[in-house]
Amino acid sequence: MKFVWTTALLFATSLLIQAQVLTSHEVTLSFFSDAPLEDISAESKAGVSALDLHSKSIYFKVAIRSFEFRKSLMQEHFNENYMESHQYPHAEFKGQLTSEIDFSTAGTYPASVEGELTIHNVTKSYQVSGELQVTKEEIAIQATFPVKLVDHEIKIPRLLIKNIAEVVEVSVAAKYQTNSE
């Protein structure tokens, strides 16, 4: 009987070590639209993320309504007219780190991720380059990449086409705590 319990305990421990999934609520997502009449930018600090150190998979999710703008009218138009956040409340990214990263060694690493971004209920494949920083206390990720609005079927009225860029710059930053202290 001791053998069975010892074997079960060792098996469970090895599963926990292999499947080390870090989660983060310290996620900031932002976007910037460089347009002739007025730049548009917004930020959300309400994103969540998970990073599986064993499989090197990564996941991000953010509520569309959590993005905050300088002007409340911009925020209202963003949610109601463009993103239709009542119908499509979240954006999410599911991907895989393709870079070789030693999560046990402190340092700054170039990071490449391949995955799928779903915005406005449209999923597209992306290859994103960024930076991953490993310390004893945390793993931090940051990346910036372009998103074409048309790729996610986000329609801009002809009257406003000069106000909003067709491609927005999306930035993401997340911090995952590596120690349980």
Q: What is the pLDDT of residues 90-120, one digit of tens each?
A: 999 999 999 999 999 999 999 999 999 999 9
pTM for the model stands at: 0.84
Residue 19, both tokens: 């499947």
Is residue 152 a contact partner of residue 122, using CB atoms and an 8 Å limit?
A: yes
Any idea what DSSP says for residue 160?
A: G
Instruction: Reply yes or no on whether the pLDDT at 53 is more than 60.
Output: yes
In the predicted model, what is the mean pLDDT of residues 7-31?
70
Domains and CATH numbers, the chain: 21-177 (2.40.128.110)
Find the helix or strand (DSSP H, E) in which 91 lies. Answer: strand 90-97
pLDDT by residue (tens digit) across 75-94? 998 999 889 999 999 999 99
What SS3 state is found at 163?
coil
Q: What is the DSSP string of 27-87?
A: EEEEEEE--SS--EEEEEEEEEEEEETTTTEEEEEEEGGG-EESSHHHHHHIIIIIS-TTT
Residue 69, both tokens: 């703008």
Is residue 127 a contact partner of residue 119, using CB atoms and an 8 Å limit?
A: no
Instruction: Reply yes or no on whether the pLDDT at 18 is more than 70.
Output: no
